[in-house]
Amino acid sequence: MSTKQLERFLAATTAIAGAKEEKHILRAIITSAQEVIGARAASILLMEPDREHMRFAIATGPASDKAILARVPVEGSVAGWVVKNRKALNLPTASADPRHFSGVDRITDQRTENLLCVPLLVDEQVIGAVQALNKEGGEDFSSEDLRFLETIAVQAAHALQQADNRRRRKEELEELRRQMTNKNILIGRNGGLQEIFEVVEKVANAKTTVLLRGETGTGKGMIARAIYEASSRYNRCLVTVNCANLSEELLESELFGHVKGAFTGATANKEGRFKSADGGTIFLDEIGDISPRLQTKLLRVLQEQEFEPLGSNRTEQVNLRVIAATNRNLEQAIQEGSFREDLYYRLSVVVVELPPLRERREDLLALVEHFLTRFSRETNKRMLSVSPAALEILSGYEWPGNIRELENAIERAVVLGEGEMLEVEMLTRHIRGEEVEISVVGQTLAEAQRNFKRWFIARELANHGGNQTSTAKDLGIQRSYLNRLIKQLDISR
């Protein structure tokens, strides 16, 4: 070993040991592999959850940007052989080897002359492989090169494991913090939501698509998270996309991704959310609002688990759990021709209907107590009970904004009120059922308009028992517009 090589080797192991985040470690590994061994290209392939494919976590060298797009089968590739047999390989004429997977060469338009490949073991588990390709100067890789790469892989595995431990500790801390602020605790297990929790537990581990339905603020977002957390995919990501917030074009490239030059302004490749969620769960919120054209594309993702990014003709395969939510009446949308019937059936394999708060008053007290505890804690107060008169009012109110509205009402009372008990006066006039006089003195036109709109819409909603479809009809506006107004104007307060 030359002194130069030894120096490089030491520098490499120091860099790997010093890197804290996974992506820095991966980068340090391959740069070292390339420099120490004198390879033209290097890459790390990690096992996919299905254990039948591997994907590039990182690659360097010519055409590495193309290489990382490839998906390599375990059966029929050198990396796959190395992973399965837990043995390193030194192949002087790689392309002649029957185990060589030519797919990557095809995509990158490069030729693999010779290659080294060693398994990456973490905790006795093979998580992937490190490869070094094409020795500089046209020579073959030596057995010393192979030993280097093996040593680097051991170091790397150690660093990756530590990064993983750090990440897990961080997640545990976050989980603990969440539990302490009781923000994500679901109330209603013993009351009106009991059946829903049973369904959640039953479907959590299947890959089944779940459609959550219910008025605004009934907890669709929370149930989606609960399904994800109870599922075996909890160690993978949950990607949430609100389909109502973006224009059709933006939503399309957000979901499917695009390649550079796919349209004006597409200056770089962009990974879509379906791809980011691969192996995990994607939550498509407000799915009733997507355009017919995107409905067609979405149907294919649901049925075939495949799609093409915009501007690309390369088909992406994904493994996705889809959870969708809507507060729209999809049956009506089908009749009106704005929602595809086949997509509706594909989505509604399991449907969870979240009841409005006015239909599950048995949960009301538990929810009130839950929010009192939470906001008392957050504001350092001790308002932990409700006066009987206030409870009567809360129980009699229609709650068009459902749990979100109740949550906001309690927050307001805790923040503005004094004492240990929530009293009637701490509730808004609107909730108390007193006709609200809207004072417009000293307000700008915009403020007065906003206040009037808020009061007017809240009253109309309450008159319709919170039903947004019929309210919108009477107000002569689109239901999606009403829904936007409710959120914009913070109607539940």
Interface residues toward ligand ATP, by CB under 6 A: 186-188, 193, 214, 216-222, 327, 370, 403-404, 407
CA–CA gap between residue 493 and residue 152 (Å, rounded): 59
Q: Considering CB distances under 5 to 8 angstroms, the limit depending on partner class, which of ligand ATP, Mg ion, none binds residue 79?
A: none
Measure the CA angle with vertex 168, ends 228 and 123; round to 5°.
110
Nearest-approach distance from CB 363 to ligand ATP, in angstroms:
7
Residue whose CB is less far from Mg ion, 282 or 422: 282
Nearest-approach distance from CB 189 to ligand ATP, in angstroms:
9
User: Do strands 321-326 and 281-285 pair parallel, antiparallel, or not at all (unpaired)?
Assistant: parallel
Which residue bears the tokens 């979100």?
Answer: 404
3-state secondary structure (DSSP) of residue 50: coil
Select the span of 93-101, 204-212, 213-221, 363-371 touching Mg ion (CB under 5 A): 213-221
Q: Considering CB distances under 5 to 8 angstroms, the limit depending on partner class, which of Mg ion, ligand ATP, none binds residue 218?
A: ligand ATP
Nearest-approach distance from CB 216 to Mg ion, in angstroms:
8
DSSP assignment of 144-204 equals HHHHHHHHHHHHHHHHHHHHHHHHHHHHHHHHHHHHHTTTTPPP-TTTTTHHHHHHHHHHH
Q: Considering CB distances under 5 to 8 angstroms, the limit depending on partner class, which of Mg ion, ligand ATP, none binds residue 219?
A: ligand ATP
Please count the CA atoms within 13 angstroms of the CA of 99 that sit on its side-chain side. Answer: 19
Task: Identify which of 234, 229, 230, 216 has the alpha carbon closest to the alpha carbon of residue 328.
Answer: 216
Contact flag: residue 242 with Mg ion (CB under 5 A): no
Nearest-approach distance from CB 487 to ligand ATP, in angstroms:
7
Beta bridge partners of 194: none
Alpha-carbon torsion (164, 166, 169, 175), positive or negative: negative
Q: Are 57 and 128 in contact (CB under 8 A)?
A: yes
Helix (H) or strand (E) holding 223: helix 220-230
Alpha-carbon torsion (253, 256, 261, 263), positive or negative: negative
Nearest-approach distance from CB 367 to ligand ATP, in angstroms:
6
The binding track of 162-201 with respect to Mg ion, each residue x by CB under 5 A or -, is ----------------------------------------
Q: Considering CB distances under 5 to 8 angstroms, the limit depending on partner class, which of Mg ion, ligand ATP, none binds residue 288?
A: none
Q: Considering CB distances under 5 to 8 angstroms, the limit depending on partner class, which of ligand ATP, Mg ion, none binds residue 479?
A: none
Instruction: Dump strand ranges (E) for 329-393.
Output: 350-353, 385-386
- Residues 345-404 touching Mg ion, rule: CB under 5 A, are none
Residue whose CB is less far from ligand ATP, 188 or 280: 188
CA–CA gap between residue 473 and residue 460 (Å, rounded): 11
3-state secondary structure (DSSP) of residue 380: coil
Nearest-approach distance from CB 219 to ligand ATP, in angstroms:
3
Select the span of 77-85, 221-229, 288-296, 334-342 touching Mg ion (CB under 5 A): 221-229
Residue whose CB is less far from ligand ATP, 53 or 328: 328
Quote the DSSP letter at residue 238. E
Contact flag: residue 221 with Mg ion (CB under 5 A): yes
- Which residue has the CB atom at the shortest distance from Mg ion? 221
Contact flag: residue 480 with Mg ion (CB under 5 A): no
Please state the φ and ψ torsions of residue 352, each to the nearest 5 degrees.
Answer: -115, 120
CA–CA gap between residue 360 and residue 32 (Å, rounded): 62
Residue whose CB is less far from ligand ATP, 147 or 177: 177
Residue whose CB is less far from ligand ATP, 141 or 375: 375
Residue whose CB is less far from ligand ATP, 88 or 222: 222
Residue whose CB is less far from ligand ATP, 165 or 194: 194
Distance of CA 87 to the CA centre of its chain: 36
Beta bridge partners of 122: 125
Beta bridge partners of 256: none
Nearest-approach distance from CB 244 to ligand ATP, in angstroms:
9
Task: Identify which of 110, 26, 22 has the alpha carbon closest to the alpha carbon of residue 66.
Answer: 110
Nearest-approach distance from CB 328 to ligand ATP, in angstroms:
10
Nearest-approach distance from CB 226 to Mg ion, in angstroms:
13
Helix (H) or strand (E) holding 322: strand 321-326
Residue whose CB is less far from Mg ion, 49 or 221: 221
- Which residue has the CB atom at the shortest distance from ligand ATP? 219
Number of residues in the chain: 493
Residue whose CB is less far from ligand ATP, 319 or 329: 329
CA–CA gap between residue 174 and residue 79 (Å, rounded): 36
Q: Considering CB distances under 5 to 8 angstroms, the limit depending on partner class, which of ligand ATP, Mg ion, none binds residue 188?
A: ligand ATP
**Structure-token pair, residue 163:** 């990064």
Nearest-approach distance from CB 217 to Mg ion, in angstroms:
8
Nearest-approach distance from CB 438 to ligand ATP, in angstroms:
25
Name the site residues for Mg ion (rule: CB under 5 A). 221
